[in-house]
Structure 1
Amino acid sequence: MRYFAFLFSLLASLSLGVALSIQFGTVPPLGKLLDPNQGFWQNAFSEDYTVKEKIALENLSSAVEVHYDEHLIPHVFAENEEDLFRVQGYITAKHRLWQMEFQTMAAAGRISEIVGPIALDVDKLARRKGLPYSAENATQFIQQNDPDMLVLVEAYTDGVNQYIAELDYAQLPLEYKVLNYRPEPWSVFKSFLLLKYMADMLVGDSDLQYSNLRKILGETLLNKLYPDFPEDQDPVIEPERNWNFSPLKIEKPEDIDYPSEDILLSMLPRPEPGIGSNNWAVAPKKTKNGHALIANDPHLSLNLPSLWYAMQLSTPEFRVKGATLPGALGIISGFNENIAWGVTNATRDTRDWYKIQFRNSERTEYLYNDRWIQSNFRIEEIKVKGQPTVKDTVVYTHHGPVVFDKNFRAERQDVNFALKWTAHLESNEQKTFLLLNKGRTHADYIEALEHYTSPAQNFVFASTTGDIAMKVQGRFPLKWEGQGKFLMDGNDPKYEWQGFIPSAHNPATLNPARGFVSSANQHAVSQSYPYYVFDNSYEHYRNRRLNNKLREMDQITLEDMKSLQFDSFHLHAAEALPVMLNLMDVENMQDLDESTAKYLEYLKEWNFNTFPNQEAPTLFQVWWNNLYKSVWTFMERDSLPITYPNKYQTVRLLREEPESSIFAMNDNVKKTAVDHVKVAFEKMVEEMKIWEDEKGEFTWATYKSTSINHLVPNFESFSRKGIYTGGGSGILNATGSRHGASWRYVAEMGDKVKAYGIYPGGQSGNPGSKFYDNFIKIWANGEYVNFDFRSVNDKNGLLFSTEFY
């Protein structure tokens, strides 16, 4: 039956592939593609259909055993690290080669080579932001400064390339066949490029939006609606933390003069909505078995193949298990026999934009400190499928690359903004994870983080000795208060970063008295922290729900940790809906039609959970969306890019200042919060009646419609739509329509580590394999698979084994 489903999906995707190829240039060779001995039928089988028990791999110093469990999770047993990572590269390529190459080509600005000119602007932007430039800097830095690390990355690269060299057309992953191209050799550069791709995915900035808001609202109203520290913040590092260091001194200049003209530029990168994460660790004194517990669930785009690939890596010195990033060495989020760790995005503003004034149209010189400084040029050659190569000239200043100028968009000849970003700096993030993989103590964890630059992350830690810790890690610019909040003048030296905050001064805590550490993308610190910290995208609900639960919980078990990861309580709704109902004066509403009365009853009886079969979450979300838009529409000015005040500030305004003049700023008539709430409710009723007439039920799962899409957007038949699951944005179970927990794991750090994990996909990158999506239902139900260590002699329940020699 699965083969028929695969055939149907393949034919649907094939038609899309042909359509794409006709549009972009070259039609796939249909005869070859349909050949039963070479074409798509060879991708219709799962990995356990034909198994090689022995594989000859060049450059190994000793034999390596690989045991696959029933979920196709490989457990690699090698005698040394070089052999270990050579085999990791081979195995990862065997199951995820197309994904590895596609993601690094996206980071390198090379998608046009595959799909043609439709991707040209995307490729230009990747190069203009300096992603290849960043990876080149990292590669050069490691080549010159860390030969031991380089040997390991080269071993991984060798393993990938040995697998690629074996491939004939029949064995190619399906996407290569449909899109009609072949894999190219892997490289050390590509592994570092992958980590820069993650840095770009997880960073955002609001310089453009805040510059526009400053002009629209003025300083007073801007500070009121966008406070740096909201009243109810519950930061990553406990507020009572004493900072045991003497901070570097920095003074804010007196004569700040930001660019004041209207900024219409709409293509500055913004954070991807839905990006987030949770992690926490609990001290032995709060757990039932007296062992530290740890949990991590990064929230990212839900894609197939999955961003993550599970694996156990073992040598005589250490064994480690968890989630890998295909293309990078080691385990990114996981545990060994002594320590465990996980990551969440730290949402720190680590990139700034500077307006550049060139001397003339040649752009060979730009103004800095009222002097003309020589520019540098980087010629980007972008190959385009079916068309001539496109050359794009990118100007580099001492701030960084000029991302937006006349060469990027001809209609914007007046715009020249340079990007300064910590990801451009020399770095060695790969070393951080390899040191964590074999770390034994809290001191090892701290040493590993010293090598980490970007993207800024909250690293949680737990150990078998009972230690728990959290550190907000990255290379953070030393800024005066307010610096980088708005677009800055590239000519004026006072806007330069003043150096970097010492890593030892980054916010961190070890074994706090409260018995837990946690992060959920909220503010890192309270106002007592002596350095300027800013971001506009801090989370205000998940973190408070998490911390409140951890404070009240005791005798905590792994099952409690799982339940907390899947917690579906909607704190935002719990705080907002009573205010909205009160402003509506619902108890005195009369003469309601049947539908309106039904909707009100659902809302009044709601327990604020977001289970998939509930109707109330849908009603609240539609009502809230209309209310939010109604309140803040006045801020829109001639298509100027802005960001609205967050949900927390909006609820606070509705609750505490319902008569505020802000509610009357949409027009010239007197309006209060009541007017906005009533209009939004009427729109909700109208929308829901239409929905019911057209689609019937409006349960949360149906309305939210969670989808896990193939990395190629047009390959919908290789995607999975309408996943039946609850949760949502701002909820611990943060499963939205296209984003959510991309990986969940929990572990108990006892004498023998006990762990569970899951992600929404499968180990295989092949849509024809039963291991392509077999984890999805388990993940959607909030369930897990056993992630305990396996020993080399444990042959129970194995799918198959392979020996590399």
Structure 2
Amino acid sequence: MKYISFLLVLAITITLAVLISRPIGPVPPVAPLIDPNHGFWQNMYSEDELIEEELSLPDLSNPVTVVYDENLIPHIFAANKKDLYMAQGYITAKHRLWQMEFQTRAAAGRLSEIVGDIALDLDRMTRRKGLGYGAELGMEFLEKNDPETLEYLKSYAAGVNQYISQLSPGQTPVEYKILNYRPEEWTPYKSLLLLKYMSDMLVGDRDLEYTNLRKILGAQMLDKLYPDLPNEPDPVIEAGKVWDFDAIPVTKPDSINYPDETWKMDPLPQPVEGIGSNNWAVAPSKTKNGNPILANDPHLGLNLPSLWYSLQLTTPEYSVKGASLPGALGIISGFNQNIAWGVTNATKDARDWYKITFQSEDRKAYKYGDEWRPTTFRVEEIKIKGQEAFLDTVVYTHYGPVVYDKNFRGDRQDVNFALKWTVHMGSNEQKTFLLLNEAKDHKDYNIALDNFTAPAQNFVFASKSGDIAMRIQGKFALKWPEQGKFLMDGSDPKMEWQTYIPNDQNPQTLNPERGFVASANQHPVDSNYPYYVFDNSYEHYRNRRINGRLRQMDQITIDDMKALQFDDYYQQASEILPTMLSLLGDAFKENDKAQEYLSQLKEWDFYADPNQKAPTLYYIWWNDLYGQIWKKWDEFGVPVVKPNSYQTIQFLLNEPEAKIFDVENTSEVETAKDHVQKSFQMMLDEMGKWEEENGDYAWANYKNTTIQHLVPQFKAFSVSHVYTGGGAGIVNATSGRHGASWRMVVELGDKPTAFGVYPGGQSGNPGSKYYKNFIPVWAEGKYLNFNLREESEAEGVLFQTTLK
């Protein structure tokens, strides 16, 4: 205990120093913070030191039993679903209250209330994108169409609020104390906000950048550098699938007049490199025990407290276990007695931009065809800690909110850009997961997915009966080719989304002949699919490595699937490094240090294991090479997106003397060889500096995987220098700040056999021994036993609590 006390005192001291030196808001009063009865001292105890055998939840209809295993994973046993979700709300808040509230404040654009005006621009952007508006529409949808789900959300909120009402000042999470505010009431609206927040985290668009590139490069060169479909796709739905439906005709306008300008303002933040995911399921015919096996590992930001919170939920009808999102009901990725499921991001372009032409300066009407349509105004009051509130007026059109205008990021140009996004359409994603939690078969799975609108996800499925399936689900607009790829003219009705693809025509497969289904954020389908499919950010490496391994494997076991999730093979390096070495030639044969590095690269087996040095050399060299090739793109003076790594490598492999490699304004004609040699020299310079300052350049040391507190300034509550391999674009996609946020493997026999882990711990309290205890397990590619528990099971019980 004394060590925990010392470390937490040190952490708080460092955090306060950071706050004072780099404040994110007014520094809290120091006296209450160090008060031994109410301050941070009270957050030094772990949950097993604060056991409460009974807790009062007056709104329950029946007592609920909560059994904690040795990892502080709660197993909740309730007589009915309303009690179950109330208990889930209470227990989740008990361990993750601050995280729940912080994330929904971020989703609502309310961070300025607690950290001051440093967050004002972020709050404005969040509100202008309409996340709160989307959650409001979600509430309206539930009130009109699904009162049952709304009642469950109310039960969950009641559980959270009963915990808040019982929360003493001393036991208030330490982040509230540091930031000097108190928790507020939870509502169903906040649960919906959380799901909209996830959609915003996972969706991207490049309409602005593609519009600029089309103007600069011309349509022909744009198509060459940025093809909608790569030459050899290995899509989510198996290539060559025959679609057994009659496609809805879509009419492309005879003439398309895109806004003919380049635009300077900064685009919306995009999902960062490393956000993605893997999932797959293998059929009984390919497994040793004759049972289907399912695996899922979502790749998101590596944060503390973890994005996920593990638990089991049990009623007399079903038991479900897996990873939940603190603030949302049920299990998001998990299994029950009959099925297992998991999700990856489908990377589908689901938001489009329209240039709005207002009738006058008052912006009360905008042009649409031959008429002027009225706008509506939404005044966003953003409260700021220690200051007057900021009022931001957002104009709404039938497309959606005008995000960019004269009042926001339009100062360099006269812009009025409206955002159309499926998040603004009223939906019920919460019901999808509630139905999946108690689903029994493939039919139930499909019924559950019919409720899911955004963000687009690849839902993998396996059942005890032996079925495996994959469905790409979301509300997808029916578009003509290239619609939504560029900024569109909002005054032209021909630019409208025409209708939506029916759910039963979304890409999906059941029990394919190859014996497996898999997704890794790659293209969803091949060219046989009858509808236009586009996104800028499809994956090209993890998918081919996973599919290649699954094709080769037979007599598959759970251990095989664990090993594949932790696979460190650097597919990209294996495909381009030999060509880079060949193009380099003997240019550095007289340089001893260069020869040392080249020897390591030539002997490399392409596995990015933590102790290997070659991955560091390749990573730096490749990034310098990529940067050199597309350096001239930085000189365009407007936002653009550079060709992706896969397409760049195709040029290096197949057209090393292509015009794209030539640097204008030089007397010579540069080829790929020139860029390879120059970038190698750059790598030598960078490595010399690195070794001088840091010494060992083993891969784990260089990439410095860090699991960061949700408030980045709270560095004392983060964990850096996690010793693990992998990297972006690798199946084990563990980079510096992103990676497998949850790993799960489930075999569906007579009883499911399950394993899972995530990089954090069950507790949200930095002073608890359960705050980060999973990290070493996760970093080594190991797992926790995740089997379903019976209420009477005594083995491995940490403690038990009765709610009544």
TM-score range, shorter chain: over 0.9
1:574 positional shift: 0.1
Q: How far is 1:18 from its partner?
A: 5.0
1:764-779 equivalent positions in 2, closer than 5 A: 764-779=763-778
| In 2, Cα distance between equivalents of 1:270 and 1:758 | 28
- Please name the residue that 2:72 is paired with: 72
Counterpart for residue 478 of structure 1: 478
Q: In the alignment, what sits opposite 2:398?
A: 398
Q: Any conservation in 2 of the 1:89–1:157 contact (CA below 8 Å)?
A: yes
Match of 1:154 in 2: 154
Secondary structure at the aligned position of 2:296 is classed as: strand
Q: Which residue of the partner structure matches residue 549 of structure 1?
A: 549
Question: How far apart are the structure 1 equivalents of 2:370 and 2:542?
Answer: 47
SS in 1 for 2:340: strand
Residues 559-583 of structure 1: CA deviation (Å, up to 9, x unaligned): 0000000000000000010111111
Aligned twin of 1:613: 611
Contact 1:207 1:352 in 2 (8 A): yes
Write out aligned runs for 1:35-184 (5 A): 35-184=35-184
Deviation at 1:240, TM superposition (A): 2.1
Tell whether 2:795 aligns with 1:793: no
Shift of 1:380: 0.4
Q: Which amino acid aligns with 1:343?
A: V
Identity of aligned residues (%): 59
Do 2:265 and 2:410's aligned partners in 1 also have CA atoms closer than 8 Å?
no
Question: Distance in 1 between the 2:5 and 2:189 partners?
Answer: 38
Partner amino acid, structure 2, of 1:752: K
Separation in structure 1 between the aligned mates of residue 358 and residue 267 of structure 2, nearest angstrom: 21
- The answer to whether 1:581 aligns with 2:586 is no
**Contact (CA 8 Å) 1:208, 1:268: kept in 2 or not?**
no
Distance 1:297 1:195 in 2: 19
Could you tell me how far 1:505 is from its partner in structure 2? 0.3
- CA apart distance, 1:270: 2.0
Distance 1:591 1:439 in 2: 64
Amino acid at match of 1:24: G
Please list the CA deviations of residues 38-57 of structure 1 after superposition, one character each: whole Å capped at 9, or x if unmatched: 11010001001021101111
CA shift for structure 1 position 411:
2.2
Deviation at 1:252, TM superposition (A): 1.3
Q: What are the Cα deviations for residues 688-721 of structure 1, in whole angstroms up to 9, with x where unaligned?
A: 1111122111110111011011001110110111
Q: Which amino acid aligns with 2:780?
A: N
Note the C-alpha offset of 1:592.
2.3
Secondary structure at the residue paired with 1:157?
helix
Q: Does 1:5 align with 2:40?
A: no
Q: Which amino acid aligns with 1:184?
A: E
**1:267 Cα deviation after fit:** 3.3
Judge which range, 752-761 or 5-14, deviates more: 5-14
Deviation at 1:217, TM superposition (A): 1.3
Alignment of 1:203 onto 2:222: no
Partner Cα distance (1:267, 1:647) in 2: 21
Cα distance in structure 2, aligned partners of 1:550 and 1:666 = 46
How do 1:305-704 and structure 2 match up within 5 A? 305-409=305-409, 411-412=411-412, 414-585=414-585, 588=586, 591-668=589-666, 669-704=668-703
Contact 1:107 1:196 survives alignment (8 Å): yes
Q: Secondary structure at the match of 2:357?
A: coil
- Which amino acid counterpart does residue 15 of structure 2 have in structure 1? S
CA contact (8 A) 2:273 2:728 kept: no
Deviation, structure 1 residue 19: 5.4
Q: C-alpha distance in 1, partners of 2:566/2:232? A: 24
Distance in 1 between the 2:756 and 2:618 partners?
32
> Residue 380 of structure 1: SS of its match in structure 2?
strand
Deviations 1:449-478 (A, max 9, x none): 000000000000001000000000000001
Shift of 1:410: 6.3
* TM-score of the two chains, using structure 2 as the length reference: 0.98
Question: 1:109 offset after TM fit, Å?
Answer: 0.3
SS of alignment partner, residue 694 of structure 1: helix
Structure 1 residue 409 displacement after superposition: 3.4
Q: Which letter maps to 1:11?
A: T
The answer for the alignment partner of 1:757 in structure 2 is 756
* Matched AA of 2:256: I
Match of residue 782 from structure 2: 783
Question: 1:723 & 1:616 partners in 2: Cα distance?
Answer: 19
Determine if contact 1:88/1:156 at 8 Å carries over to the other structure: yes
| Equivalent residue pairs, number | 801
Q: Give 5+ residue unaligned stretches, structure 2.
A: none
Amino acid paired to 2:127: R
2: distance between equivalents of 1:17 and 1:435?
Answer: 44
CA–CA distance in structure 2, aligned partners of residues 474 and 446 of structure 1? 12
Residue 205 of structure 1 contacts residue 271 of structure 1 at CA under 8 Å; is this kept in 2?
A: no
Task: Give the stretch that moved more between structures: 412-421 or 234-243.
Answer: 412-421
Q: Which amino acid aligns with 1:547?
A: N
What secondary structure sits across from 2:531 in the alignment? coil
Rounded to whole Å, the distance in 1 between the matches of 2:25 and 2:551 is 57
1:643 positional shift? 1.1
Partner of 2:258, secondary structure, is coil
User: 1:388 aligns to what SS in structure 2?
Assistant: coil
Assess if the C-alpha contact under 8 Å between 1:198 and 1:455 holds in 2: yes
DSSP 3-state at the match of 2:389 = strand
Q: Tell me the SS of whatever aligns to 2:118.
A: helix
| AA at the equivalent of 1:786 | N
Secondary structure of the corresponding residue to residue 76 of structure 1: strand
Is contact 1:405–1:412 with CA below 8 Å preserved after alignment?
no
CA contact (8 A) 1:203 1:271 kept: yes
Match of 1:14 among 9, 16, 27: 16
Structure 1 residue 636: deviation in Å? 2.7
> In 1, distance between residues paired with 2:251 and 2:219?
20
Is the 2:346–2:472 contact (alpha carbons within 8 Å) kept by the matching residues of 1? Answer: yes
For 1:611, give the aligned amino acid.
D
Q: Deviations over 1:386-421 (max 9, x none)?
A: 000111000000110000112223624611100000
Counterpart AA for 1:7 = V
Partner SS for 2:243: coil
Instruction: Give, in whole Å, the separation in 2 of the partners of 1:18 and 1:686.
Output: 36
* Contact in 1 for aligned 2:356/2:416 (Cα 8 Å): yes
CA contact (8 A) 1:201 1:272 kept: no
Letter in 2 for 1:803: T
Instruction: Look up the equivalent residue of 1:233 and give its one-letter code.
Output: P
TM-score (norm 1): 0.98
Query: In 2 relative to 1, CA 591–413 (structure 1 residues): closer, same or farther, beyond 3 Å?
Result: closer
Q: For 1:590 and 1:324, how far apart are their aligned partners in 2?
A: 53
